[in-house]
Structures are given as structure tokens and as C-alpha cells.
């Protein structure tokens, strides 16, 4: 690609200094609320995404607290089963589509142009549109809670016919909101691909890009490939519910199992959409604080690509118990296990990067290290679930809940937090408060493990998921889990405190805020001015 | 901001966007194409346990006296349809190749005329390719007046090429309402009863 790069563009705004010194006074746009509504600046849109994602994280978190409060003791205490089902469903939907995905898009908006030396995203106005779809989508989704019949209550996987024939009337609103969120993701992905492929600074080849950029490029391709399938599935649901078709309705010759195939054809790549950018963030942070180059850069890129390709061949491991023929059980079992190979390459590379490095343990590094350990635990329970005969026992138990929360909370969410701590000095010009960040980290780590580790045991002992009550022998595990969940939930307020304090003041950060940080974003001042790299920076390509 | 990009970059961006849009449209169409593909795939392999929608001819072959396969018959109603469906025999033991008959009784327990169909499903699904139905009530809708009873036979044959490892075949009939019945409304009322 490098040889096809355009000649260096001449800066049309002559005031813009090299190295992105252009200052705020060049911003002549509207002020106040309209500034945010109409902004096309990648940094402002990135911040909007991150703030939106944080608020969704708390809303989804409150739903999780309701679930854990109900499960604190056996029996029904606080909520009716119908409402409990709405809470589990909304928690999953909000966290997946409202918290984790927009957080990664926000980080990409902020950091991809800075890491490739581009002045902005390739399509800034589209960028604005794809952000503002999200508040609309989630306001619509949350409004279903007050509709007659209640919010969606069929689980975040919305299996038909539970989500069609037997669904509450608000399901049509849920479908529309998911359509909007999906369009937002697709537009974001188009923008990221167009930016990465076309706006790299002269001299930066594909294999010179930071791993965060690489993993996001691959994630964006996954989004392009599977979000239309999700859109197709929910469109079929819409037709089944409102227009009398029978895609998933056995009465009319349809097949509910088809829904599961289509959903998981989207759903499995979707789970990698939520973890690949996390791999990228961690692959950027660990070399910085180990003060070594990333071990096996090329193998990291190929491993990410292999995981992405394999993700299309494993979907039926979510459906081992629907009555697949033996040969399909075996195929999906082995192809799933194959994913452990590139994932193992990644974990190996992280550990080898740490090996004999000059480690320091600043807050981003703490979260990155916790990610490596705890994500790997989630990976191992995933391997256990991949074993088809064993899965017949684990299916739909708390073991599954433990597994995907380990890869999503101390996996994706910790990586997002690591990224936020890592880039806060660049965004705000201040270091995050060290003591407070450490408290946040340790309370989160203890809280997360207290919450999700006992779920493994409850699940192996047979506790089914998505049920508001449970047998007495699970009482102790559930009480520990609930205490851990409250602890984790409350300690996230510390995170908000750290971010707010960091925006308002704190120790001043230099342009290169972290000792071992090497990517291009550390060549612009901290805080990064509104406009950066209006003249493409010089890039010396021998870092990797 | 696009104003800043040179002509080549702008062309590059336009090309990238055009390609991703084509890929998007392709994947959206592919999602819908998967529906007929799935049906054809299942018809060829029998993977979703569906049986033929039409009466099939008897395959004339000598019954395999050395093998006995248990044929289990299960019937299920569905919400919003006040019908009962009973098989007179719950279980028959047949030799592959032999044809057998099981009788069923439909009864409308409600107080209005309704139309429904019994939809079959076979487990294990591999057996569905080897289950031939010579006569079945499941090929058409049934219309029953209030309190009306109706008896109908199922004549079937398990062909001799049924895989050896299959010792039991389960045939499930689920009743589904076919007229514009209140089944969905009932379902949502049941779920949203607190509203």
C-alpha cells in the first residue's frame, strides 16, 4: 500500500504548524450544545462516544445490580420474574451494544488518526451522524421499560419464537433500536477502514501500524461482514411479528433453529468484535511499561487475522444441544479449539514482551496485566465449553455466564479502562490520580473475581442461567457473587472520580507522557490540540 | 475536513467506501439467501428433522427381520389452541422396510370453529430421510367445529437403509393454529400480565 500513497498534501490552512500545533482559536464552529451536536472533529466525537459508553455502562450496571440483588438469596425477594427477565435482557443488550462497542469506537476515533498521523477521520460528517444515532437508539431501547407489556424479556440472544410469537409488544421498538445501533456500527466501521487505508502518514506501511490500529482495522472488517446479517435477522423477526411471514415459525413451515444459526453467524464474530480492539490496546500498553518492543509484532497481526477468519467457522458451538448431527458437533468442536492457537500466540507474545523488561506498574499497566491473566482464565473456560460432550452439561448454566463475563469484564472492559488510563494524559494534559487509580484497580480486580469466579462452581453444580430463583445449595455461591458485584459496581464510581479529577487538573503531563511510549500520538502536545497532524508527520519506519 | 485531502486521497477514500458498501449490501442479501440455502441443505441432509409434505409411495422391500426399531410418537398442543391430539399407540416396534399404521384423534375442546395443523418433527434428524409417510393428516390443515372429534391414520415406513446406529426414532406432532387465532396475543398477555 505504501507505494500508492498520495504525495504529501499541502496544508490549506496556512496557520497550521507542523506536528499538530494548531491551537483551539482556529475553531470557529458553533458554541455550547450546538458545538457538540454538529462537531465533525474526531477528538470531540471520540469523547462523545466515550462519555455515552460510560453512561450506558452505569445504566447496564444498575440492571446487573437489580439482578444480583434478587439473586442475593434464594426465593423471590425484590422483583417479579417478568421484570427479572427484562433486567437480564436489557443488561446484556446495553452492555454489548451500548457500552463495550461504543467505547471501542470512541477510542478508535480519538486514537486511530493520532496513531497513523492523519488530521481527522476520513469521513468526519458521517462520523458525527454515526455517533448521534446511538443516543436515539438507546433512548428508544430504554423507553421499552415503561411500555405496556414491559421491555424485551427474552435474553440478549433474543431466540425466536420467544422473541417473535411470545414476545412483548415492545419488541418492534427493540428491533428498530437495534437497527439504528447496527447502522451506527456499520458507518463507524466504514469510516475507520477508509481512514486507516487512505490517511496513513507518508512512509507508514501497513506493517508499521500500531497494533491498536491493526486490530481495529480487522474488527471493522468483521463489523462490515456481520452487522448486515444481524440486520437481516431482526428484519426477519420484524416480518414474522408484524407481517405474518414464517421465517422462524414452525406453524408456517419455518424453523426456529434457523434463527439460532443466523444469530450466531453474526454473534460469534460479534464476540471477537468486542475483544480484538482490547487485544490491540493491551499490545500497545505492555511494550510501553515493559520498555521493550512488542515481541512478535507480525505474528500478532497474523494471529488477529486468523482469529477473525476462524470466527466465521465456529458459530454452532453455541448450539451443541439443538440436535446437530455428530459430524457437525465434531467440526464445530475442533474448529473452536483451533482458535485457542492464535489466541495462545497472543498471550505468549504478551508474556514474552514482559519477560526481562523494565516493568513499572502505572495504572494502565495494572489493568493490562490483569487483562492478560483474567482474560486467559476466560479463554480456558471457553475451551472447556468447546468440548461438545462436556457442553451438554455446561450449556445454559452459570458456567457459561462465568465464561463470557471473564472475557468481557476483566477482558474487554478492563482493556478499555487500561486504554482510558493510558491515553488520559494525552486527552486532558494531566496524569490520572495515582492513589485513586490504584484503589479503583484493586477494588475492581477483587470485585470482578469475587463476582464471577464462584459462578464457575455454581454452574458446574448445575445452576441454570436466567432464572430468578435457585436451589438452596447454590445460596453461598450466589451471596458471594452478589457481594462481589456490589463491590465492583460501587468501585466504578472511583473511575468516574478519577476521570473527572483528571479533566479538571492534576499533575501536568508532557507530550510523551509515558517513558516507553513510542507511537505517533506521543509526538503531539498534551493535551492534544483540537487539530493535529494537519501536515503529515515524519515517520521513521524501524520501530517494530 | 475532506477539503484538506488531496485528490488522490479523496479518490482512495471514495473507492474504499464504495467497496465496503458493496460488501455490506452483499452480506445483507447473503443473510436472506441463507434462508432458502438452509432449507435446501436440510432437505438434502434431513438435518432439521422435517419430513416430506406429501404422501410418498411405499418402497417395496422385504422387512429386515433381524432389526427392530422403536418408533415413539409424541403429540403436543400449543398455547391459544384448545385442541387435544392423542396417538392411540405411543410406541410401535417395527422392522425396517415394514409399513405400520398408527391412529390419532383430534378433538376441539373449545367453543368456536378453528383450523390447525399438526407439524411433524423427527429425532434423530438423520432418520427423517428414511421415514416415508404413505398417509398422514399432517399434509393438510384440519378444521374442527366445537366439540368435534376426528380420527386420522398415519401410515409410515422406515426404509431399510436407516443407519444401523439408530435404534429409536421419535416422531413429534405439534399442533399449530392456522387461522388468525389469538395465539400471539395470548402469549403476550401471559408474559406481560403485570401491565
- Cβ count within 10 A of residue A310: 19
Average pLDDT over every residue of B108-129: 86
Residue that is written with C-alpha cell 488520559 in the block: A424
* Rounded Cα–Cα distance for residues A235 and A89 (Å): 19
Q: A509-512 — which CB contacts under 8 Å span 24+ positions? A: A509/A425, A509/A426, A509/A428, A509/A429, A509/A430, A509/A431
Q: Is the pLDDT of residue B184 over 50?
A: no
Cα distance from B14 to chain A (closest Cα, Å)? Answer: 8
Closest CB from A82, A167, A233 relative to B31: A233
* Rounded Cα–Cα distance for residues A114 and A118 (Å): 6
Cα distance from B60 to chain A (closest Cα, Å)? Answer: 28
* Rounded Cα–Cα distance for residues A538 and A203 (Å): 8
- Whether B18 maps to a domain, the answer reads no
- Whether B76 maps to a domain, the answer reads yes
A118 phi, psi to nearest 5 deg: -100, 150
A42, A200, A317, A433: the active-site residue: A317
Q: Which residue has the higher pLDDT, B8 or A288?
A: A288
pLDDT, chain B, mean: 83
CATH of the domain at B132: 2.60.370.10
Tens place of pLDDT per residue across chain A (544 aa): 344 444 443 333 333 333 434 444 455 667 888 889 999 999 999 999 999 999 999 999 999 999 999 999 999 999 999 999 999 999 999 999 999 999 999 999 999 999 999 999 999 999 999 999 999 999 999 999 999 999 999 999 999 989 998 899 999 999 999 999 999 999 999 999 999 999 999 999 999 999 999 999 999 999 999 999 999 999 999 999 999 899 998 888 888 999 999 999 999 999 999 999 999 999 999 999 999 999 999 999 999 999 999 999 999 999 999 988 888 999 999 999 999 999 999 999 999 999 999 999 999 999 999 999 999 999 999 999 999 999 999 999 999 999 999 999 999 999 999 999 999 999 999 999 999 999 999 999 999 999 999 999 999 999 999 999 999 999 999 999 999 999 999 999 999 999 999 999 999 999 999 989 989 999 999 999 999 999 999 887 665 4
Q: List C-alpha distances in Å: A286 to A70, A369, A415, A438, A518.
A: 39, 8, 11, 17, 12
* Rounded Cα–Cα distance for residues A278 and A248 (Å): 35
Please indicate whether residue A465 is annotated as part of the active site: yes
- Give the pLDDT confidence score for residue A15 in this predicted structure: 37
Q: What is the pLDDT of residues B56-102, one digit of tens each?
A: 777 777 888 888 999 999 998 887 788 889 899 899 999 998 888 99
| B168-177/B149-158 β-pairing | unpaired
Q: Count the helices and strands in chain B (H runs, E runs).
A: 2, 9
Evaluate whether A278 touches A379 at the Cβ level (below 8 Å).
no
- Cβ count within 10 A of residue A74: 15
Sequence-ordered list of residues with C-beta below 8 angstroms from that of A496, at least 6 positions apart, any chain: A54
Q: In what order do the strands lie in the sheet with B114-123?
A: B91-94, B69-76, B168-177, B114-123, B142-144
Q: Is the pLDDT of residue B191 over 70?
A: no
Residue of A nearest to B11 (CA): A198
Please indicate whether residue A195 is annotated as part of the active site: no
Name the region of A395 (left: φ>0; alpha: ψ -120 to 50; beta: rest). beta
Q: Is the pLDDT of residue B185 over 90?
A: no
Residues of B in contact with A231 (CB under 8 A): 28, 31
- Whether B129 maps to a domain, the answer reads yes
- Whether B33 maps to a domain, the answer reads no
Least Cα distance to A262 among B25, B30, B182 occurs for B30
Q: In what order do the strands lie in the sheet with B83-87?
A: B83-87, B99-108, B149-158, B131-135
* B110, three cell numbers: 373449545
| B131-135/B83-87 β-pairing | unpaired
- Whether B53 maps to a domain, the answer reads yes
Sequence-ordered list of residues with C-beta below 8 angstroms from that of A188, at least 6 positions apart, any chain: A105, A108, A127, A130, A220, A223
Please give the span between the terminal C-alpha atoms of chain B, in angstroms, as a whole number: 51
* Cα Rg, chain B, nearest whole Å: 25
- Whether B123 maps to a domain, the answer reads yes
- Whether B194 maps to a domain, the answer reads no
Q: Kindly determine whether residue B194 and residue A80, on different chains, have CB atoms separated by under 8 Å.
A: yes
Please indicate whether residue A216 is annotated as part of the active site: no
β-partners of residue B133 are: B156
* A480, three cell numbers: 458471594
* Rounded Cα–Cα distance for residues A413 and A375 (Å): 11
Evaluate whether A325 touches B126 at the Cβ level (below 8 Å).
yes
User: Helix (H, G, I), strand (E, B), or coil: what is residue A203?
Assistant: coil
Residues of A in contact with B78 (CB under 8 A): 251
DSSP A356: T
Residues 24-43 of B with CB under 8 A from A: 24-25, 27-28, 30-32, 34-35, 38-39, 42
Evaluate whether A50 touches A103 at the Cβ level (below 8 Å).
yes
Q: Kindly determine whether residue A40 and residue B1, on different chains, have CB atoms separated by under 8 Å.
A: yes
Please indicate whether residue A268 is annotated as part of the active site: yes
Please give the tally of structural domains in chain B: 1
* B185, three cell numbers: 396475543
Residues of B in contact with A168 (CB under 8 A): 188, 191-192
Domain that holds residue B96: 47-181
Q: List C-alpha distances in Å: A362 to A290, A412, A510, A515, B112.
A: 11, 19, 16, 11, 74
| B131-135/B114-123 β-pairing | unpaired
Q: Kindly determine whether residue A149 and residue B30, on different chains, have CB atoms separated by under 8 Å.
A: no
Name the region of A396 (left: φ>0; alpha: ψ -120 to 50; beta: rest). left
* Rounded Cα–Cα distance for residues A282 and A56 (Å): 23
A473 phi, psi to nearest 5 deg: -70, -15
- Whether B145 maps to a domain, the answer reads yes
A436-450 burial code (b ≥16 CB/10 A, e <16): bbeebbebbbebbbb
Measured between CB atoms, does B12 come within 8 Å of chain A? Answer: yes
* Rounded Cα–Cα distance for residues B156 and B116 (Å): 22
User: Helix (H, G, I), strand (E, B), or coil: what is residue A44?
Assistant: helix
Q: Kindly determine whether residue B20 and residue A12, on different chains, have CB atoms separated by under 8 Å.
A: no
Least Cα distance to A175 among A107, A94, A226, A234 occurs for A234
Sequence-ordered list of residues with C-beta below 8 angstroms from that of B170, at least 6 positions apart, any chain: B72, B73, B74, B122, B123
Sequence-ordered list of residues with C-beta below 8 angstroms from that of A479, at least 6 positions apart, any chain: A72, A73
DSSP A408: I
- Give the pLDDT confidence score for residue B186 in this predicted structure: 41
Q: What is the pLDDT of residues B12-38, one digit of tens each?
A: 999 999 999 999 999 999 999 999 998
- % pLDDT > 70, chain B: 90
Q: How confident is the model at residue B195 (pLDDT cuts 50, 70, 90)?
A: very low
Q: Is the pLDDT of residue B180 over 50?
A: yes
Sequence-ordered list of residues with C-beta below 8 angstroms from that of A139, at least 6 positions apart, any chain: none
* Rounded Cα–Cα distance for residues A210 and A532 (Å): 18
Closest CB from A11, A119, A228 relative to B1: A119
Q: B98-101 — which CB contacts under 8 Å span 24+ positions? A: B98/B63, B98/B157, B98/B158, B99/B58, B99/B134, B99/B155, B99/B156, B99/B157, B100/B71, B100/B155, B100/B156, B100/B157, B101/B153, B101/B154, B101/B155, B101/B156
DSSP A20: T
Evaluate whether A197 touches B16 at the Cβ level (below 8 Å).
yes
Amino acid at each position: 500500500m505504501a507505494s500508492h500513497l498520495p504525495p504529501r498534501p499541502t496544508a490549506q490552512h496556512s496557520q497550521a504548524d507542523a506536528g499538530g500545533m494548531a491551537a483551539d482559536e482556529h475553531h470557529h464552529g458553533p458554541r455550547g450544545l450546538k458545538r457538540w451536536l454538529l462537531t465533525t472533529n474526531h477528538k470531540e466525537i471520540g469523547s462523545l462516544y466515550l462519555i455515552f459508553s460510560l453512561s450506558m455502562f452505569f445504566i447496564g450496571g444498575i440492571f446487573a445490580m437489580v439482578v444480583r440483588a434478587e439473586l442475593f438469596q434464594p426465593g423471590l425477594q425484590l422483583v417479579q420474574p417478568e421484570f427479572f427477565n427484562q433486567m437480564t435482557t436489557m443488561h446484556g443488550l446495553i452492555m454489548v451494544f451500548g457500552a463495550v462497542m461504543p467505547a471501542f469506537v470512541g477510542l478508535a476515533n480519538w486514537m486511530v488518526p493520532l496513531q497513523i498521523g492523519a488530521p481527522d477521520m476520513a469521513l468526519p460528517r458521517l462520523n458525527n451522524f454515526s455517533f448521534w444515532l446511538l443516543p436515539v437508539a438507546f433512548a428508544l431501547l430504554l423507553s421499552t421499560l415503561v411500555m405496556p407489556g414491559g421491555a424485551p424479556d427474552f435474553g440478549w440472544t433474543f431466540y425466536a419464537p420467544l422473541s417473535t410469537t411470545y414476545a412483548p409488544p415492545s419488541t418492534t421498538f427493540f428491533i428498530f433500536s437495534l437497527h439504528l445501533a447496527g447502522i451506527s456500527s456499520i458507518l463507524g466501521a466504514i469510516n475507520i477502514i477508509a481512514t486507516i487505508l487512505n490517511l496513513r502518514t507518508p512512509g507508514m506501511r501497513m506493517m508499521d501500524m500500531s497494533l491498536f490500529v491493526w486490530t481495529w482495522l480487522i474488527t471493522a472488517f468483521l463489523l462490515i461482514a456481520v452487522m448486515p446479517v444481524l440486520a437481516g435477522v431482526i428484519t426477519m423477526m420484524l416480518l414474522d411479528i408484524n407481517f405474518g411471514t414464517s421465517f422462524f415459525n414452525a406453524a408456517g413451515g419455518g424453523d426456529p433453529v434457523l434463527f439460532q444459526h443466523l444469530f450466531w453467524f453474526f454473534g460469534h464474530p460479534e464476540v471477537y468484535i468486542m475483544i480484538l480492539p482490547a487485544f490491540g490496546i493491551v499490545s500497545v500498553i505492555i511494550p510501553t511499561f515493559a520498555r521493550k518492543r512488542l515481541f512478535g509484532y507480525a505474528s500478532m497481526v497474523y494471529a488477529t487475522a486468523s482469529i477473525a477468519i476462524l470466527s466465521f467457522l465456529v458459530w454452532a458451538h453455541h448450539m451443541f444441544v439443538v440436535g446437530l448431527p455428530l459430524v457437525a458437533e465434531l467440526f464445530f468442536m475442533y474448529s473452536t479449539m483451533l482458535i485457542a492457537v492464535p489466541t495462545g500466540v497472543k498471550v505468549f507474545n504478551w508474556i514474552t514482551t514482559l519477560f526481562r523488561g523494565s516493568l513499572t506498574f502505572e495504572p494502565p499497566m495494572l489493568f493490562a496485566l490483569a487483562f492478560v491473566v483474567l482474560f486467559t482464565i476466560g479463554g480456558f473456560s471457553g475451551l472447556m465449553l468447546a468440548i461438545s460432550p462436556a457442553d451438554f452439561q455446561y450449556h445454559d448454566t452459570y458456567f457459561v455466564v462465568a465464561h463470557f463475563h471473564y472475557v468481557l469484564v476483566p477482558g474487554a472492559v478492563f482493556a478499555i479502562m487500561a486504554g482510558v488510563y493510558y491515553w488520559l494524559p494525552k486527552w486532558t494534559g494531566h496524569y490520572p490520580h495515582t492513589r485513586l487509580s490504584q484503589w479503583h484497580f484493586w477494588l475492581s480486580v477483587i470485585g470482578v473475581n469475587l463476582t464471577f469466579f464462584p459462578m464457575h462452581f455454581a454452574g458446574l453444580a448445575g445452576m441454570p442461567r436466567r432464572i430468578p430463583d435457585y436451589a438452596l445449595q447454590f445460596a453461598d455461591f450466589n451471596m458471594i457473587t452478589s457481594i462481589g458485584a456490589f463491590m465492583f459496581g460501587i468501585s466504578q464510581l472511583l473511575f468516574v472520580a478519577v476521570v473527572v479529577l483528571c479533566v479538571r487538573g492534576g499533575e501536568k503531563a508532557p507530550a510523551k507522557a509515558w517513558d516507553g511510549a513510542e507511537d505517533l500520538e506521543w509526538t503531539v502536545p498534551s493535551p492534544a490540540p483540537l487539530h493535529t497532524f494537519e501536515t503529515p508527520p515524519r515517520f521513521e519506519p524501524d520501530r517494530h | 475536513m475532506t477539503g484538506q485531502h488531496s485528490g488522490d486521497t479523496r479518490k482512495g477514500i471514495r473507492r474504499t467506501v464504495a467497496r465496503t458498501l458493496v460488501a455490506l449490501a452483499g452480506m445483507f442479501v447473503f443473510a436472506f439467501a441463507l434462508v432458502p440455502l438452509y432449507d435446501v441443505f436440510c432437505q438434502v441432509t434431513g438435518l432439521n428433522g422435517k419430513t416430506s409434505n406429501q404422501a410418498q409411495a411405499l418402497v417395496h422391500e422385504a422387512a429386515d427381520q433381524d432389526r427392530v426399531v422403536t418408533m415413539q410418537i409424541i403429540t403436543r398442543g400449543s398455547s391459544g389452541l384448545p385442541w387435544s391430539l392423542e396417538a392411540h399407540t405411543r410406541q410401535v416396534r417395527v422392522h425396517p422396510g415394514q409399513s405400520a399404521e398408527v391412529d390419532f384423534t383430534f378433538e376441539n375442546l373449545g367453543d368456536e370453529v378453528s383450523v390447525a395443523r399438526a407439524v411433524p418433527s423427527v429425532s434423530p434428524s438423520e432418520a427423517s430421510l428414511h421415514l416415508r409417510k404413505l398417509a398422514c393428516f399432517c399434509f393438510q390443515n384440519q378444521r374442527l367445529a366445537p366439540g368435534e372429534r376426528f380420527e386420522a391414520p398415519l401410515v409410515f415406513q422406515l426404509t431399510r437403509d436407516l443407519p444401523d446406529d439408530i435404534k429409536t426414532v421419535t416422531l413429534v406432532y405439534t399442533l399449530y393454529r392456522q387461522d388468525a387465532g389469538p395465539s400471539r396475543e395470548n402469549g403476550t398477555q401471559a408474559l406481560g400480565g403485570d401491565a
